[in-house]
Chains A and B, each alone.
Chain A
Amino acid sequence: MAAVQVIRSEWTKIRSVASTVWTLSLTVVVTVALGTLISALSRSQYDRMPVRERLSFDPTVISFAGMTLGQLAMIVFGVLVVSNEYGTGTIRVSLAAVPQRGTFLFSKIAVAAALALAVGMVTGFAAFFLGQAMLGSLGTKIGEPGVLRAVIGSGLYMALIAMFSMGVAAMLRSAMLSLGILMPFFFLISNILGNVDATKKIGRYLPDQAGSRIMQVVPRIGDDTPYGPWGGLGIMVLWVIAALAGGYALLRKRDA
């Protein structure tokens, strides 16, 4: 009952601010455009690639290459959905209307996550088909083993990244602080930790490193990752649950 009301209200809120349109359309445009571009470049560079790279050439992953940048817009979306309430003080009005704070927070996140999932799916499929078109003969097909899982997984990944950001923003409350931590983390730090040999063993358990495993179809040579595609997504889900639980615990306890 209360949840239905919050969901309707949140849908109105999310529709009525420009930042939603901007961040989500930026997610689609950046991911698809960059993925298409890199796919086109990969095709022209394929002949000059070392054999080792050619053997692990994964056309699906190539078409999702734009996601590294596109996910940042998704993070901004997730952060703003939650921190807007705190930045403007509407959180007090909202919590006065819905004293059940858990219902409020999770209904709010459900609405934003559903929207992020829809946009993520559109982005994933668009990036995949445009990327494969660019790759031409090097490309793969949606019917190949593991490919559909990877494309749907890319949409799930986007939604989970947004939810993780919402959880972090619910804990930190400030958009500046949340973005200041999340943006460099996902753009730089996580990539460095996940690819440098010394930290790789820990780095691959980070949310985006584990989660992006679902988008791989062709295994890398010498890959010793101890989890599979769904296992990786599961690790990311655990991260999301932890962030949301932290946000809820603080919201429940804290003065609004």
Chain B
Amino acid sequence: MIEAVGLTKRYGDKTAVYNLSFQVRPGSVTGFLGPNGSGKSTTMRMILGLDNPTSGTVTIGGYPYRKLPNAPRQVGALLDAKAVHGGRAARSHLLSLAQLSGIPARRVDEVLRVVGLQDVAKKRSKGFSLGMGQRLGIAAALLGDPQVLLFDEPVNGLDPEGILWVRNLMKALAAEGRTVFVSSHLMSEMALTADHLIVIGRGQLLADMSVTDFISANSADFARVRTPDSEPQLREKLSSALTEAGGHVLPEQDGALRVTGLPLPRISDLAHEADVRLWELSPHQASLEEAYMRMTQGAVDYRSTIDQKAGLQQPLPPGAQPPMPVPGQGQPGWYAPPPPQQAGQPFTAPTPPSGPYGGAPAGAYGAPGAPGAPSAGAPNPYAAPAPQGQPPVAPAQPPAAAPAPAASAPAPADPTQPKDAR
């Protein structure tokens, strides 16, 4: 177990790591995420006693690294794949490290086979690719068969086969009850490898939670709605109708709308009511990468995520459409909903509930069946005429079908909230 308490590191007036406290537990892979320069490597070096913290402590199994008995047999680390003398053969490099730690020489050949470098063991590491360097570094970390393993960006430069291998290796090591601490700036990779995440930005802790918690808190469902390209006014009309119904509408670059806060059937109903044809209505999930980027982006500019309406109109393409009260593309918070602690309702929070339904008690309509019912009935009348190309029928049918969705309209408006708030 690795435990950091109030870890702070300053270089001159630059603070690399500030007041970092976390625990890395055995038996699971802990991902250590942060953008470049966020202090990951500095933290790793402090764990290994290479850099002295300005304040705070970090211990492994209760000992600071420099006091840890038999440290190289307890802890293995890959800090930098290039930390090899280029003129030295791979095997000699590992042999010198093994001798340094009092590890028998036959272990060197074992780890060379584990990382698949046995054929180039006698070659100088100068000619190694970055991926081979990573394998050599991983071999060095495994030498002492340690209970605690630290890997700094182990998949950099690896081919897909190598990435898969590293992923499985980390999981296997953790499954054996070891403590595995892996840094990366790739959220997608960590989502597949790690069980627990520690996210830092600009040296400060942003998140310390399990991957499943991170996913449920940060992965955002949204609907992509596309209206006919030929009639921009339809898009505008739909957009205001959806906003009025409590949805959060963001324009996408290609002219589609990204809608959060409303279930698909409800969007369809609203479009129908507004007499807007749809070319696309599809469910999507914002990637964890986006959620992570938003989180790290907000490390310092956290307030701007909340108060972003000031810059709303700016990024819209020139002359494309009238300004809409939505956040612009590329701004923090555009991709994914705000963090849960901000409002507790990731989807609907940024837009205040408006219109006739806004005042209704949200929880009262928490019937899961309500959204399902219209979805079964309502989309079909639309779906059928459109492919068949029968415009005369389409206008005729909606009035007939209209009463049913219109009547149930107040109900589905609110079920979105309890659903999304989960």
Residues of A within 8 A of B (CB): 1, 5-6, 8-10, 12-13, 15-19, 84, 88-90, 92-100, 255-256
CB nearest to B105 among chain A residues: A12
Q: How far is the CA of A33 from the CA of B344 in the complex (A)?
A: 83
Q: Is the CB of A9 within 8 A of B97?
A: yes
Q: How far is the CA of A89 from the CA of B102 in the complex (A)?
A: 21
CB nearest to A89 among chain B residues: B83
The smallest beta-carbon distance between A251 and chain B, in angstroms, is: 11
Q: Is the CB of B87 within 8 A of A89?
A: no
Q: Is the CB of A97 within 8 A of B72?
A: yes
With an 8 A cutoff between CB atoms, is B168 at the interface? no
A10 partner residues in chain B, CB cutoff 8 A: 96
Once A9-B97, A12-B96, A12-B99 are accepted as A-B contacts, the answer to whether A96 and B83 lie under 8 Å apart by CB is: no
Q: How far is the CA of A100 from the CA of B49 in the complex (A)?
A: 10
Q: How far is the CA of A256 from the CA of B79 in the complex (A)?
A: 12
Most buried by B among A9, A90, A96, A99: A96
Q: How far is the CA of A255 from the CA of B93 in the complex (A)?
A: 23
A18 partner residues in chain B, CB cutoff 8 A: 87
Q: Is the CB of B82 within 8 A of A88?
A: yes
CB nearest to B91 among chain A residues: A16
CB nearest to A8 among chain B residues: B99
| B67-90, CB < 8 A from A | 68, 71-72, 75, 77, 79-80, 82-89
Name the one of B68, B87, B95, B101 contacting A17, with C-beta atoms under 8 angstroms. B87
Q: How far is the CA of A19 from the CA of B100 in the complex (A)?
A: 21
| CB<8 Å pairs between A and B, sample of 29 | A1-B102, A5-B99, A5-B101, A9-B99, A12-B96, A15-B92, A17-B87, A17-B88, A88-B83, A89-B79, A90-B84, A90-B85, A92-B79, A92-B80, A93-B140, A94-B97, A96-B71, A96-B72, A96-B77, A97-B100, A99-B49, A99-B65, A99-B66, A99-B68, A99-B71, A255-B50, A255-B51, A256-B45, A256-B50
The smallest beta-carbon distance between B11 and chain A, in angstroms, is: 9
Q: Is the CB of B75 within 8 A of A96?
A: yes
Q: How far is the CA of A6 from the CA of B72 in the complex (A)?
A: 13
Q: How far is the CA of A92 from the CA of B150 in the complex (A)?
A: 13
Q: Is the CB of A97 within 8 A of B80?
A: no
With an 8 A cutoff between CB atoms, is B287 at the interface? no
Residues of B within 8 A of A (CB): 45, 48-52, 65-66, 68, 71-72, 75, 77, 79-80, 82-89, 92-93, 95-102, 140
The smallest beta-carbon distance between A90 and chain B, in angstroms, is: 5
A95 partner residues in chain B, CB cutoff 8 A: 49-50
Main secondary structure of the interface of A (DSSP, over half): helix
Q: How far is the CA of A88 from the CA of B88 in the complex (A)?
A: 11
A100 partner residues in chain B, CB cutoff 8 A: 66
Name the one of A5, A17, A84, A88 contacting B100, with C-beta atoms under 8 angstroms. A5
CB nearest to A15 among chain B residues: B92
Name the one of A12, A19, A88, A93 contacting B95, with C-beta atoms under 8 angstroms. A12
A12 partner residues in chain B, CB cutoff 8 A: 92, 95-96, 99
Q: Is the CB of A6 within 8 A of B100?
A: yes
Q: Is the CB of B50 within 8 A of A92?
A: yes
Q: How far is the CA of A1 from the CA of B50 in the complex (A)?
A: 21
Q: Is the CB of A16 within 8 A of B71?
A: no
B98 partner residues in chain A, CB cutoff 8 A: 9
Q: Is the CB of B83 within 8 A of A93?
A: yes
Across the A-B interface, give the 4 residue pairs with the lowest CB-CB distance, nearest first.
A89-B83, A16-B92, A9-B100, A9-B99
Q: How far is the CA of A98 from the CA of B87 in the complex (A)?
A: 23
CB nearest to B73 among chain A residues: A97
Most buried by B among A15, A88, A94, A100: A88
Once A16-B88, A88-B84, A93-B97 are accepted as A-B contacts, the answer to whether A256 and B75 lie under 8 Å apart by CB is: no
CB nearest to B64 among chain A residues: A99
CB nearest to B11 among chain A residues: A255
The smallest beta-carbon distance between A114 and chain B, in angstroms, is: 16
Name the one of B45, B82, B86, B101 contacting A97, with C-beta atoms under 8 angstroms. B101
B68 partner residues in chain A, CB cutoff 8 A: 99
B102 partner residues in chain A, CB cutoff 8 A: 1, 5
Q: Is the CB of B88 within 8 A of A13?
A: yes
Q: How far is the CA of A94 from the CA of B66 in the complex (A)?
A: 13
Q: How far is the CA of A93 from the CA of B72 in the complex (A)?
A: 10
Q: How far is the CA of A215 from the CA of B88 in the complex (A)?
A: 37
Q: How far is the CA of A97 from the CA of B141 in the complex (A)?
A: 10
The smallest beta-carbon distance between B140 and chain A, in angstroms, is: 7
The smallest beta-carbon distance between B77 and chain A, in angstroms, is: 6
Once A84-B85, A90-B84 are accepted as A-B contacts, the answer to whether A97 and B97 lie under 8 Å apart by CB is: yes
